[in-house]
């Protein structure tokens, strides 16, 4: 590693103690960016990397609310406004008990490069809370969302920062958040949030977009390799909104989805998901029990394997993690290689540890990185913002066509970076470089800010 990049990375680790996920992302991204700084010594002179690794602003706040038994509960609230060089901060809100500052910062860092890859004018941000929606009543979720927005509203806006959903935040939560924002601000600015319901400015295809986009990206990869998706077997994790969109599109295009998973284990569907099973996924997800065993209760013909992850345990062509960070660890990577699986299409944000990533790449597994693969979600949020600004809505076909064009373009940009920097077909490094390029140029143009 060059002295400059090495030094900045060491400083990141020293100055952000106790933040392993943020260190992990910084290490992975900075390694890839090294050749960029060799070609552009002016970036080092401008202190570009030192600025790039420091979030522009972090907001942390108390979220007090009263549960159904009348007891006061207090959660932590976060918004990391990471980088606004190319547009207003944009990125989801995650409500999950595991949420902490390190996770918020890694997600916001990833989001900055991801949003750049979409070619839409969106900076990077992320937020959320350690609130656990599992088992909460509708009224508790509403009161929590109202309290969260009572603080957050002063930090966001359609031209400032536009949150959306992530794990634990979907149309229901976005509705409550928007209602409270509108009430406090006394203005109808629906471009302040994306992932809204259709009746108040949401976009068609947004719920499906992350999974559709992930499949479209993989189809581009297959085209490049002169292969076809028909008959390919996909092992997915998760069973939420992202896995649901992917399952639909993969199945429509002639592939087979043979696993889903939850914190309690995974289900194996030998002949692939049927339409009835796909339609059941959002129903089961809506219960918020977070148990994939309920899939087995409904469909007796599937197998449920308790306490295990699907990675390397089933014969498939593609592993497609759709759940959360670091779900593929070194032992999973070894199992994937031992099974002879050739592709990892990352859909969850940073689903692979750095050690596992290196092992997979050294053993000829083609890794499609999450910041490219899952960018269709935020890209369609960008399209929702455009529709809100124009005060009109596009048909599902129009949005889907634009989404496909964006995913093709992301693959094309990455390919160009891999050619320019002679990286072979290394999509991980190519995505980091291509995403960084636009942000770096904008930061250089805007001076020392
Ligand atoms: O990780 C992500 O890109 C998201 N959760 C979606 C963000 C967005 O603003 O739609």
Cα–Cα distance, 427 to 435 (Å, whole number)? 12
pLDDT digits (tens, 9 = 90+) for 339-397: 999 999 999 999 999 999 999 999 999 999 999 999 999 999 999 999 999 999 999 99
Query: Could you give the angle at the alpha carbon of 406 between the alpha carbons of 404 and 407, nearest 5°?
Result: 65
Q: What is the mean pLDDT of residues 131-160?
A: 97
Which residue is it, tokens 């970036």? Answer: 43
Residues near ligand 1 with C-beta < 6 Å? Answer: 90-92, 111, 164, 166, 194, 349, 374, 377-378, 381
Atom of ligand 1 nearest to the CA of 349: 1
Helix spans in 46-194 (H): 48-52, 101-117, 138-152, 171-185
Instruction: Please tell me what DSSP assigns to residue 331.
Output: H
What's the mean pLDDT when you consider all of the chain?
Answer: 98
Atom of ligand 1 nearest to the CA of 111: 3
State the burial class of residue 438 (Cβ atoms within 10 Å of its Cβ: 0-12, 13-18, 19+). Answer: middle
Phi/psi at 404 (nearest 5 deg)?
A: -60, -40
Atom of ligand 1 nearest to the CA of 91: 9
Report how far Cα 52 is from the mean position of its chain's Cα atoms. Answer: 20
Phi/psi at 125 (nearest 5 deg)?
A: -155, 165
Task: Report CA dihedral (209, 369, 434, 109) to the nearest 10 degrees.
Answer: 80
Predicted confidence at residue 2, as pLDDT, reads 83
Cα–Cα distance, 279 to 282 (Å, whole number)? 7
| Global pTM value | 0.97
Three-state DSSP state, 3: helix
Cα–Cα distance, 223 to 388 (Å, whole number)? 34
Q: Whose CA is nearest to atom 4 of ligand 1?
A: 92
Ligand 1 center from residue 159 Cα (angstroms): 17
* Enzyme catalytic residues: 126
Can you spell out the DSSP letters for 172-227?
HHHHHHHHHHHHHHTS--GGG-SS--GGGT--TTHHHHHHHHHHHHHHHHHHHTT-
pLDDT digits (tens, 9 = 90+) for 26-71: 999 999 999 999 999 999 999 999 999 999 999 999 999 999 999 9
Which residue is it, tokens 């009430």? Answer: 183
Predicted confidence at residue 1, as pLDDT, reads 66
CA atoms within 13 A on the CB side of 253: 23
Q: Helix 396-420 and helix 206-224: axis angle, to 10°?
A: 40
Q: Helix 171-185 and helix 138-152: axis angle, to 10°?
A: 50
Read off the tokens for 345. 């299409």
Which of 377, 380, 410, 435 most suits a substitution to test ligand 1, by most atoms within 8 Å of the C-beta?
377
Q: What is the mean pLDDT of residues 222-234?
A: 98
Predicted confidence at residue 351, as pLDDT, reads 98
What distances in angstroms separate CA 136 from CA 78, 174, 262, one per listed residue? Answer: 20, 16, 18
Cα–Cα distance, 233 to 218 (Å, whole number)? 13
Ligand 1 center from residue 379 Cα (angstroms): 8
End-to-end CA distance of the chain: 27
Can you spell out the DSSP letters for 272-301?
---HHHHHHHHHHHHHT---THHHHHH-TT
pLDDT band at 334 (very low <50, low <70, confident <90, very high): very high
In this predicted structure, the answer to whether residue 104 has a pLDDT above a threshold of 70 is yes
The neighbouring-strand residues paired with 94 are 128
pLDDT digits (tens, 9 = 90+) for 171-220: 999 999 999 999 999 999 999 999 999 999 999 999 999 999 999 999 99
CB–CB of 346/321 below 8 Å? Answer: yes
Report how far Cα 84 is from the mean position of its chain's Cα atoms. Answer: 18
Which of 21, 111, 156 most suits a substitution to test ligand 1, by most atoms within 8 Å of the C-beta?
111
pLDDT digits (tens, 9 = 90+) for 255-291: 999 999 999 999 999 999 999 999 999 999 999 899 9
Ligand 1 center from residue 440 Cα (angstroms): 22
């Amino acid at each position: 590693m060059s002295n400059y990049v090495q030094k900045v990375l060491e400083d990141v680790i020293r100055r952000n103690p106790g933040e392993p996920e943020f260190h992990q992302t910084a290490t992975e991204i900075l390694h890839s960016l090294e050749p960029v700084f060799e070609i552009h010594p002016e970036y080092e002179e401008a202190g570009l990397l030192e600025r790039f690794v420091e979030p522009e602003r972090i907001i942390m706040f108390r979220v007090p609310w009263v549960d159904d038994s009348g007891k006061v509960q207090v959660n932590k609230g976060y918004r990391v406004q990471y980088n606004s060089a190319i547009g207003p901060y944009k990125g989801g809100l995650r409500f999950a008990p595991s949420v902490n500052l390190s996770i918020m910062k890694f997600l916001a860092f990833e989001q900055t490069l991801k949003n750049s890859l979409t070619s839409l004018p969106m900076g990077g941000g992320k937020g959320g809370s350690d609130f656990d929606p599992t088992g909460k009543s509708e009224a508790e979720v509403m009161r929590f969302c109202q309290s969260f927005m009572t603080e957050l509203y002063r930090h966001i806006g359609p031209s400032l920062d536009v949150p959306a959903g992530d794990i634990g935040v979907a149309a229901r939560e976005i509705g409550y958040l928007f209602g409270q924002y509108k009430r406090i601000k006394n203005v109808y600015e629906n471009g302040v949030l994306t992932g809204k319901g259709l009746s108040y400015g949401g976009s068609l295809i947004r719920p499906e977009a992350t999974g559709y986009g992930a499949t479209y990206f993989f189809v581009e990869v297959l085209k490049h390799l002169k292969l076809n998706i028909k008959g390919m077997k996909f092992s997915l994790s998760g069973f939420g909104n992202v896995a649901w969109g992917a399952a639909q599109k993969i199945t429509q295009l002639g592939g087979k989805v043979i696993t889903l998973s939850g914190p309690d284990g995974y289900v194996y569907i030998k002949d692939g998901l049927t339409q009835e099973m796909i339609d059941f996924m959002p129903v089961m997800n809506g219960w918020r029990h977070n148990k994939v065993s309920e899939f087995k209760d409904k469909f007796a013909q599937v197998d449920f394997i308790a306490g295990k992850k699907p990675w390397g345990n089933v014969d498939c062509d593609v592993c497609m993690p759709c759940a959360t960070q670091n779900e593929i660890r070194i032992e999973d990577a070894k199992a994937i290689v031992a099974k002879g699986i050739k592709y990892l299409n990352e859909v969850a944000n940073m689903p692979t540890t750095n050690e596992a990533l290196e092992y997979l790449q050294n053993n000829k597994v083609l890794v499609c990185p999450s910041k490219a693969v899952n960018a269709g979600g935020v890209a369609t949020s960008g399209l929702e913002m455009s529709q809100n600004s124009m005060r009109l809505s596009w048909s599902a076909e129009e949005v889907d066509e634009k989404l496909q064009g964006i995913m093709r373009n992301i693959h094309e940009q990455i390919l160009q970076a891999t050619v320019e920097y002679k990286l072979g077909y290394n999509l991980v490094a190519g995505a980091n470089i291509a995403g960084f390029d636009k942000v770096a140029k904008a930061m250089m143009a805007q001076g020392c800010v």
